[in-house]
A and B are shown apart, each in its own frame.
Chain A
Amino acid sequence: MNGLLAIYGKEMATYFRSPIAYFLISSFLLGTGYFFIYNVFSSGTATMDLTFRDMAFLLMILVPVLTMRIFSGEYSGRTMELLIALPINTWQIVLGKYLAAVTILVIMTVATFVNLIPMFLYGNPHLVNIICGYIGFILLGMASISIGLFFSALTQNQIVAALITLPTLLGFWWVGHLQNMQSNSFMQDFLGYIAFSLHYSELIRGLLRSEAVIYYLLVAATSIILTISYIKWRR
């Protein structure tokens, strides 16, 4: 547990001593603020549905920036050797880093609560929808970060890590569109199940189903286990 906390603390210090955290949080807030004003004021309805959709899309673009340095930076800075020679388990290294990235995601998410103030002041929004939407957003973020984490472990070049993560995330988002082109019903179900977007649209409509929650957590767990195995194998 010591090792996990040490890694977590070091990662958080790295995020906040460099511009990464400030850049991510401010650009996410700016983007979300713009979409919120555009969606709410142009439609005149007090819902977050459209804003959640735009937030998810913004997240797909920002996650590679958040995750690209996680392991690539350690490889290129030759500090990975230090981490492995310290009395810390590989799973503690990976989990500590993952939790730090998720913390940044949570800070980004909580910062958008500011949008809810005028909504509750001047409108009558559905609280359940908003809670489900935020749960969905965090779950989507957790799955996306784990994928970025895995790709970052594969290469020592941060740009390459980001450039593989982005299309992969967009692929998971859009794969649902292929559903209509399949004649096979198994393939239809399968594509519908693996698409990030279809589970997410259920959640932002206020439908909290275990299937969606399990799916996102499964993606996160799989990527984390793959990352741990890869780092162990790499020695």
Chain B
Amino acid sequence: MARIIVVTSGKGGVGKTTTSAAIAMGLAKKGHKTAVIDFDVGLRNLDLIMGCERRVVYDFINVINGEASLNQALIKDKNCNLLYILAASQTRDKDALSQEGVGKVLDDLSKDFKYIICDSPAGIERGAHLAMYFADDAFVVTNPEVSSVRDSDRMLGILSSKSRRAEQNKEPIKEYLLLTRYSPERVKLGEMLSVEDVQEILSLHLLGVVPESKSVLNASNSGIPVILDEKSDAGQAYADIVARYLGENKPHRFIDDKKGFFGKLFGGK
């Protein structure tokens, strides 16, 4: 049986796809057979971030409609042979996703995979609903910014009331906070909500903080998940997150401002 993880946020542009790609690659690199599915029908992007956009022949909707088998649609990642990508359809209407269809694909994948990452679209419409409906764990990607925190809170309400686990009165979805685009310098200046602030408002278990980083754009430019850029701060942050999720004890990093010489001179403490 696979563990199904939804990467969600409510708000768009906070880093869901970047996170899905990084986490999926991280889990696969740790030796777990992992599939990552793009639920954003009509606006697919995971294939670009994973660098497999030219190898998409069949997609998620083709599989649901029986026009292709799972094996035909799954794209083997070029960097890791334990990682497979299922692209969203770019042409179909988003109503093409049916609950039964998604459930069947996830069931079939579960037989063969250890982890299934569901990359949710923004919003709380059908695609987002189906991405989280079957989940066991939820990674709530949040930016330290008012609209993102508010939308995350709304998403938490939906996770706890509208998921399969909630409807069947099972143990609730395990929810984790991933704070992305974090800038310790700005937090220190009182210009940005701190990790503690966001945790206090959302009361969520913090899985990790990903700092605002140039490496994220570099990674998406070249279609290589940022976690493979092992020298970068964001890459290391995602590696820590994967390790923590798998139960390793990693102290949190990238939360404090590393002050330079002038910072020390004027900053005190």
Asked if A and B bind, the verdict is no
